[in-house]
Chain A
Amino acid sequence: MSIMIIGAGLAGLSAALTLAEQGTACTLVSAQASERAQSVMAEGGINAALNTMGEDDSVANHVADTMRGGVFLADPNAVRGLCAGAPAIVEKFYALGVPFSTNQNGIIQRNFGGQKKKRTAFVKSSTGKMLMTALIDEVRKYEVRGLVKRLPHHRLNTLHIENNTCRGVTVTDTFSGQNITLSGSVILACGGMSGLFEGLTTGTTQNTAEVAALCLEQGVELANLEMIQYHPTTIGISGKRLLITEAARGEGGRLFVNRSGKPWYFMEEKYPELKNLMPRDVVSAEMVAVTARDDCEKQVWLDMTGIKKKVWQSRLSDLRAQVMHYLAIDPQRQPVPVSPGIHYFMGGIRTDAAHRTSCKNLYAAGECACQYHGANRLGGNSLLGAVYGGKTAAQTVLQEAQPIDPIAPCADIYREASPRFRAAVSNILGRYLKILRCESELLQAQSELNALEPSAQNAAEARLLRLAQATVQCALLRRESRGAHRRTDYPDTDPACQKQTVVNRTNVFYRDIPKETE
């Protein structure tokens, strides 16, 4: 059997390791080295009901928080698998050498948004980087043993799909321009769609959205594209949004706005149970609401001055260094101005609980896949979802992969959208796919995107534009407010819309969410 993994971040590495541990070889394709993947930027932690904090945590609690946080739009069976698999994943990373903070009971866990128990294992606020370093080292062992063959500096050129069956890929070496065509099963693990919102996200420039665009063009279904997470605490810096990790609030940071000249800790007043740690969609929407009030200033602040010095040193030293470097503000001494920014894409390539896409022999995992997070992702569930998703996809491939006849070499020249075209698309989506949306603005977005069609210079630009249009179509279809999708013209959550929005080459429609099985 021949297996190709597209993307070498956490999900791709997890898939590669799962295959290698079973003695199965794979080809691991990435545009840059794993050290450059967006996974290294994940900060606050990874969720697992380890129950080390004396709070009677359980897998059932983790499932309940994840489903409620996602406003019941995720597949409950997939979420149950994710949460049940989480403790073993964190224990494995500890065995691989990740220096999680520990005490006499085991791995320490911190509070995180939308969760009623301390459930987030962490290494300061560099958890993603720590997991990645350990996983890169472990996969390296299998590279030397010949089970993982890396194709670094390669991009996906074409998916070879016939009769809704994927037969392989053609990838292009970005250094030499040479193509390589490989037949076999394919796992896509290529990250979220930040490339639709260039300069407006906390993510990397490498998550270009070109693979999602290629999938859509080739008939693979995408889902829930309207579910775009705005993280409440980001700051605009040169060329991007800088994330202030949710761990800052998990360790005691407080949001306030000046109202009639006095600080108003609005989250604490409105949500006395979880306060500043309500799910991200709720916090971001509240920030928009308070700054729109006549009696409030337009800036929300994150006050971390009450966090103890010891916590800063042991758990947040890297966050402080980052804020001081990019903002010249010492967060230990003065509040930091924050505003919501695009951070995560809950939608993407539609997968089932086993990480199959709508196309046979094609699988997807990590942020590129629509799975686990429903209408809003909880902090700490992205690292978990990437590792568990990669592992699950690989296990499914191991069960299903069949020999595939070699496919003819493909000589198509790799094309990408120009920076100017990307900027034009991002400009439109950024203006209209905001935290609060309404039909008239979404129709305006559609109209402006349609007007861009004649300026698409190549196939890559045409399909990127089509992906942008599909995203707006999903947002138009969902006539309700749920999680990250807030419609001013449909402000209520509609039980009839508790479905996935699905888009394919020709249609956008609703699909039922799987029923919970025993």
Chain B
Amino acid sequence: MKLLIEILRQADAVSAPYRQTIAFEAQPEDTVATLLTELNTADGLCDTNGKPVGTIHWQCSCLQKKCGSCAMRINGVPRLACDVKLGECKNGKLLLEPLRKFPTVRDLIVDRSVMMENLKAIHNWLEQHAHHSQKAADLSYDASRCLQCGCCLEVCPNFCADGSFYGAAAFVPVSRVLSQLTKDKPQELSALYKKNIYGGCSKSLSCHAICPAEIDVEQKLANSNAVAVWKRYFK
């Protein structure tokens, strides 16, 4: 298939971004991740204005939806590059942009370290041995699948990188820990949850629909609220 690829590029964190368009013959069954690999190994690739393309910087790792590394805006929607097949591109056009909620490092690479910093700030860990129950096991499994890709934060109307609301990238992992706490040994996590998640969520649940791991995000929010706010621990 003939593909017209527009990429929002940026040489480094402080340079001005610019758009570059590349015409390329691609296979509809290939993913955006494979396309980017091919573009970076193509001989003498030039854009539609005849300017050399050079290396397009992007991040990837597993290439099969298990690590969240390759999250970017694909045709305006935050998705994983390894998840999107080129055949999905309507009218043979593909628009690639970095996620907007995080500082751009270079081309399609953004600095998502705020997600890890927020999980530190909210104290997301167990201070005691986990309390296991069947209900908690199912929830823990699903919550533990979170990729920390950032797609949920990209569509969240309440999250901004320097704000006090941490979003689904925090409350999904937090729900795992909360589900394994017991009433007699509460943790500071609950109070921090109320401050940094419960108090800032407007329940748009746009995070639920966008999650590339298809985690039941809404359920994680409800269960976390039950434990942290209403003290209804898993038995």
Residues of A within 8 A of B144 (CB): 98-99, 126, 129-130, 133-134
B101 on interface, CB distance cutoff 8 Å: no
Nearest residue, chain B, Cβ from A177 = B12
Given contact pairs A238-B30, A419-B40, A99 touches B67 in the complex (Cβ within 8 A): no
Residues of B within 8 A of A35 (CB): 67-68, 147-148
A259 on interface, CB distance cutoff 8 Å: no
- Which of A40, A126, A134 is within 8 Å of B62, CB to CB? A40
Given contact pairs A133-B173, A140-B120, A238-B29, A99 touches B41 in the complex (Cβ within 8 A): no
A144 on interface, CB distance cutoff 8 Å: yes
A358 on interface, CB distance cutoff 8 Å: no
| B69:A36 contact, CB within 8 angstroms | yes
Give Cα A137 to B61, complex, Å.
Answer: 21
| B63:A205 contact, CB within 8 angstroms | yes
Interface size class of B (residues with CB under 8 A): 35 or more
Give Cα A174 to B16, complex, Å.
Answer: 20
| B113:A237 contact, CB within 8 angstroms | no
Closest beta carbon of chain A to B94's beta carbon, Å: 15
- Which of A32, A98, A129, A133 is within 8 Å of B61, CB to CB? A32
Interface residues of B in 64-93 (CB under 8 A from A): 64-69, 82, 85
| A237:B64 contact, CB within 8 angstroms | yes
Nearest residue, chain A, Cβ from B136 = A99
| B31:A239 contact, CB within 8 angstroms | yes
Among listed B1-9, B121-129, B152-160, interface-contacting one: B121-129
| B173:A41 contact, CB within 8 angstroms | no
B53 on interface, CB distance cutoff 8 Å: no
- The interface size of chain A toward B, counting residues with CB under 8 Å, comes to 47
Given contact pairs A97-B130, A238-B33, A205 touches B60 in the complex (Cβ within 8 A): yes
A95 on interface, CB distance cutoff 8 Å: yes
Closest beta carbon of chain A to B15's beta carbon, Å: 14
Give Cα A88 to B69, complex, Å.
Answer: 32
Give Cα A126 to B66, complex, Å.
Answer: 10
| A240:B130 contact, CB within 8 angstroms | no
Residues of A within 8 A of B62 (CB): 36, 38, 40-41, 204
Interface residues of B in 131-178 (CB under 8 A from A): 132, 136-138, 140-141, 144-148, 173, 176-177
| B129:A129 contact, CB within 8 angstroms | no
Instruction: Please encode chain A, from 403 to 426, with 1 for each CB lying within 8 Å of some chain B CB and 0 for all others.
Output: 000000000000000011001000
B105 on interface, CB distance cutoff 8 Å: yes
| A137:B173 contact, CB within 8 angstroms | yes
Instruction: Please encode chain A, from 433 to 450, with 1 for each CB lying within 8 Å of some chain B CB and 0 for all others.
Output: 000000000000000000
| B125:A141 contact, CB within 8 angstroms | yes
Closest beta carbon of chain B to A509's beta carbon, Å: 36
| B141:A130 contact, CB within 8 angstroms | yes
Closest beta carbon of chain A to B129's beta carbon, Å: 4
A290 on interface, CB distance cutoff 8 Å: no
Residues of B within 8 A of A239 (CB): 30-31, 33-34, 37, 63, 82
The CB with the most chain B CB atoms within 10 A, among A98, A102, A137, A153, is that of A137
| A36:B67 contact, CB within 8 angstroms | yes
Residues of B within 8 A of A423 (CB): 41
Closest beta carbon of chain B to A242's beta carbon, Å: 6
| B64:A242 contact, CB within 8 angstroms | yes
Instruction: Please encode chain B, from 101 to 130, with 1 for each CB lying within 8 Å of some chain A CB and 0 for all others.
Output: 000011001011100100110011111011
| B67:A40 contact, CB within 8 angstroms | yes
The CB with the most chain A CB atoms within 10 A, among B40, B59, B120, is that of B59
B180 on interface, CB distance cutoff 8 Å: yes
Closest beta carbon of chain A to B231's beta carbon, Å: 20
Interface residues of A in 299-345 (CB under 8 A from B): 322, 325-326
B13 on interface, CB distance cutoff 8 Å: yes
- Which of B64, B112, B177 is within 8 Å of A137, CB to CB? B177
| A36:B68 contact, CB within 8 angstroms | yes
Nearest residue, chain B, Cβ from A93 = B130
Given contact pairs A152-B113, A240-B63, A138 touches B126 in the complex (Cβ within 8 A): yes
Instruction: Please encode chain A, from 236 to 248, with 1 for each CB lying within 8 Å of some chain B CB and 0 for all others.
Output: 0111101000000
A124 on interface, CB distance cutoff 8 Å: yes
Nearest residue, chain B, Cβ from A423 = B41
| B125:A204 contact, CB within 8 angstroms | no
Residues of B within 8 A of A33 (CB): 112-113, 116, 148
Residues of B within 8 A of A126 (CB): 141, 144-145
Give Cα A419 to B69, complex, Å.
Answer: 18
| B147:A322 contact, CB within 8 angstroms | no
| A240:B173 contact, CB within 8 angstroms | no
Given contact pairs A41-B66, A126-B145, A133-B173, A140 touches B59 in the complex (Cβ within 8 A): no
Residues of B within 8 A of A36 (CB): 59, 61-62, 67-69
- Which of B31, B63, B119, B145 is within 8 Å of A129, CB to CB? B145
A123 on interface, CB distance cutoff 8 Å: yes
| A240:B64 contact, CB within 8 angstroms | yes
- Which of B63, B130, B176 is within 8 Å of A94, CB to CB? B130
Residues of B within 8 A of A137 (CB): 124-126, 173, 176-177
| A175:B13 contact, CB within 8 angstroms | yes
The CB with the most chain A CB atoms within 10 A, among B85, B106, B126, is that of B126
Residues of B within 8 A of A40 (CB): 62, 66-67
A96 on interface, CB distance cutoff 8 Å: yes
- Which of B40, B64, B106, B127 is within 8 Å of A322, CB to CB? B64
Residues of B within 8 A of A461 (CB): none
Given contact pairs A33-B112, A40-B66, A40-B67, A124 touches B130 in the complex (Cβ within 8 A): no
Residues of A within 8 A of B63 (CB): 204-205, 238-240
| A326:B148 contact, CB within 8 angstroms | no
A2 on interface, CB distance cutoff 8 Å: no
| A95:B61 contact, CB within 8 angstroms | no
A206 on interface, CB distance cutoff 8 Å: yes
Residues of A within 8 A of B59 (CB): 32, 36
Q: What residues make up the interface of A, taking CB atoms closer than 8 Å to B?
A: 32-33, 35-38, 40-41, 94-99, 102, 123-124, 126, 129-130, 133-134, 137-138, 140-141, 143-144, 150, 152-153, 175, 199, 204-206, 237-240, 242, 322, 325-326, 419-420, 423
15 contacts between A and B (CB under 8 A): A32-B69, A35-B68, A36-B68, A36-B69, A99-B136, A126-B145, A129-B145, A133-B173, A134-B144, A175-B111, A204-B67, A206-B61, A238-B82, A239-B31, A322-B65
Chain A to chain B: the 9 pairs with minimum beta-carbon distance, closest first: A97-B130, A133-B144, A99-B137, A239-B34, A141-B125, A36-B61, A99-B140, A95-B129, A36-B67
